[in-house]
Amino acid sequence: MGHLDGSARRVALLSSLTWSSLTWSSLIWAVACVPSGAVPHAASTAPTPRPGAPLRTRSEITHPSGRRSIPPGSPVLSIPAAAAASSAPLDAPGGWASHGLPAYGVVSATLKVRPSDRPALRPSAALEAARNEFEPFQIIVVAGDEALRAVSLTHGAALTDAAGHVIDRRHLTFFRVGYYDVGTPSNREGAAGPWPDPLLPDVDAYVGERRNAFPFDVPPRQTRAIWVDVFVPPSTPPGLYRGSLVLERLRGPRGSARARDTIPLALRVGAFTLPSTATLRTAFGMDFAEPCMAHTGTPSCSAEWDEEPACELRARYLAAALDHRFSISDVAFQPPFGGSAGPFQRWLQPLIDGRGHTRLAGARLTAIRLDEQPDRLGRWLALARAQGFLERLFYFPVDEPDPDTQHDWAALRQAAEPLRRFNPRARLALTAALGAARRHKVSELVDIFVPVVNYLDPRPESGDAVHRADYRAWLATRPGRELWSYQSCMSHGCGECGDPSPELADTGWPSRVIDSSAVQNRAFPWIAFLHGLSGELYFAATEQLATAWEPNGLCKFSGHGDGTLFYPGTPARIGGRTHIPIESIRAKMLREGLEDHEYLVLAARRDRSKTIELAQALFPHAFACAQPVQALERARHRLFALLDGAGAASAEAPR
C-alpha cells in the first residue's frame, strides 16, 4: 500500500479507504486489539499476503546479534498509528525490507526504534488529542540493499475538518531522530550500541531557523526515523481533521528524479482542553553555567562575565522545559539585584509569571528553588513575596541525609531556623523518608517530603515496609504540606560507568535512561497520580550537557542519560545561526506522561474509581512500569473516550 515509488492509483485507493466506513471509536478499538504484526510499505514486487496469513509477532523483532531491543509483547503499532486498519496489510515475505526492497511507514512515538530494529509499520497515522496538547508519532524509513538518498519530510494537505476549520501547518514540527552510542548498558533492560534520543529539528520552535535535519541518507539495510509533533491550539473546534505529509527521496541511477509518497494523517480533537501549566509540580535542577559551558565553553557565553547572554540562553532551556510541561527550578545565578536585575527581569522573570516565549500560552514555572546561601534567604523571600511566587518557592538545603548519622539532620535544623525567621510561610523540602525524619525529630520542620519512588512502593522481596498511610496522616495535620517523590539511580542501578547493573531489583522502575523503554520514560506521572503525589523532584536536566554528543558522554551512576534531557544545539552541529536546546525522546516522553497525568486528573473528576482502576491495571506497582506500548495506549484511548463524551469540557482554560 504506497511503496516508496508508489503510484497515484494506490494513494487514491488508500484515501478512499481511510475513514469512509468506520467510526473513530471502532477503528481505534479494533487497532488496539489487533495482534502484533508487520505491516510495512514494501516495494511493489512484494506479493500481497494471502487472507488469514499469520502476522509476525514482536518476539521476531531482533538485532543481528539475536538480542531483542524491543520487549516481547510490545505492540507493533500504537493505537493512534492505525488510520488504515480497514485496508488489507502488505507484508513482504521474510520480514521487513524483504528481497532487498526499501520500505516506510508509521509507528508509535512510545517505541524506541534502533537502526537495526524491524518494527511493524502502518501506511498512515491516526491521532487523538485534547486541545492545547502535543501529540507525536514517528515515520520509519528502511533501506533495502541500496542506500536511500536525500530523504526528507514535507507538508502535504493541511489538517482540515468537515466544516473547513484548519490546523495551521506551523503547528506541526518535524525532527530527524539522532542516536546516542551506549557502551556498557545501563542495566539488564538495556543494550550496547546506538539508541534513538536526540531530535534534530527541521525548523526549530525557538527562533524559527531552518536547521540541517533534512535531507539525510539511510545506509543499506538500516532503519532511520522521523519524529512528528502535532500541536492542537486551544481554540481548535473538536472533531476529526484530515491531512497528509509527503516523504521524499532521490531515485534513479543518478538520483535525477525525486520520489514523493503521501502519508495520510488524521487527528481526532477532543472536546476538552489541557492546562498550559502542569498540575503536577516539577523541580528539575540546572547549574547556572551548564548551558553556556556546553554551547560556548565559557560560564556566561562570553569571554568576560556577562549575565545577559547567559540568561538569554538559559531562558531557552527553561522555555523548552515548560513546553514539555516540566519546570527547571534553578532559575538564577543569585538573587537578581544590582547588575543581575536587568537580565533576570528580561529573560527569566517572564517564565515565572507565565509571560515567556512558550508555545503553551501562559505556561509558568511550578516550582522555584531558593538559593542555598543563608545570607541570601531574606532577599529571595522578599522578591518572591513581592512578585507573587512565594507559594512556588522551596528551600532544599540538605539532600538525602544519612539516616544513621546526626550531622546531616543537625544541618537541616540549622538551615530551617533562619528560613522560618525570614518568613514562616516559606517551605522546606527534604529527600528522605518520614520515618527517618521522625527518628531524628525533624519531621515537623518539613513542608514537602520527597521519598525516592523505590521506597514509596518497594519490591516485596526488598523487605522494606510501605508507609503510605503514615504520609497521609502527616499531610492531614497541617495545611500546605505536600508529598513529592523522585526517581534516582536506583531505577537502573547505582554503579560506575562501565560496570553493568545486572540485578533484577534495578529493573521495571520509572526511568530516565536512554536504553530503557519509552514506556518507562513516560511512566512516572502515572505513579504520581496513583500515590496522590503533588510533585516530582529530579536532580538535573543538563548534568552532562557538555559531553552529550560523545559516545558514553551521558553516562552517570551507570545510567546513560540520567540527569541530562537535552543536547547542546550549536550552529556548528545543527546549522542555523542561533544556539538552542536539542530535545531528547526522553523529554518528549516526560511531556507525554505529564499530559497523561492531566487526562487522569480530569477523568478522576468524572469517575474517580474507574480512573484509578484503569491506571492500576496499567501500572500495578512502581516497579512494574516496563509495560507494552499497546497496553499504555489502550489505557490512554479509554481516558480520551471518557473525557470526549457528550458535554465533556476542560475543568479550566489554559493557564
- Check residue 344 and report its DSSP letter: I
Write the pLDDT tens digit of every residue in 532-548.
999 999 999 999 999 99
**Residue 406 vs residue 64, higher pLDDT:** 406
Residue 168 has pLDDT above 70, yes or no: yes
Percentage of the chain lying above the pLDDT 70 cut: 82
Residue 76 has pLDDT above 80, yes or no: no
pLDDT category at 30 given cuts 50, 70, 90 is: very low
pLDDT category at 253 given cuts 50, 70, 90 is: low
The predicted pLDDT at position 34 comes to 37
- Using DSSP bridges, classify how beta strands 535-538 and 482-485 pair: parallel, antiparallel or unpaired: parallel
Instruction: Let me know: does 178 contact 252? Beta carbons within 8 Å.
Output: no
Instruction: Give the residue among 500, 591, 497 at the shortest CA–CA distance from 552.
Output: 497
What is the rounded average pLDDT of the residues 278-307? 96
**Residue 179 vs residue 84, higher pLDDT:** 179
- Check residue 203 and report its DSSP letter: B
pLDDT category at 98 given cuts 50, 70, 90 is: low
Alpha carbons 55 and 584: distance in angstroms, whole number: 32
Write the pLDDT tens digit of every residue in 341-387.
999 999 999 999 999 999 999 999 999 999 777 778 888 899 999 99
What is the rounded average pLDDT of the residues 621-625? 97
**In 251-406, which ranges are continuous DSSP H helix?**
290-296, 307-323, 341-343, 349-353, 377-387
pLDDT category at 257 given cuts 50, 70, 90 is: confident
Averaged confidence pLDDT in the chain: 85
Instruction: Let me know: does 5 contact 44? Beta carbons within 8 Å.
Output: yes
Q: pTM for the full model? A: 0.87
Residue 405 has pLDDT above 60, yes or no: yes
Amino acid at 135: E
Instruction: Let me know: does 252 contact 632? Beta carbons within 8 Å.
Output: no
The predicted pLDDT at position 252 comes to 67
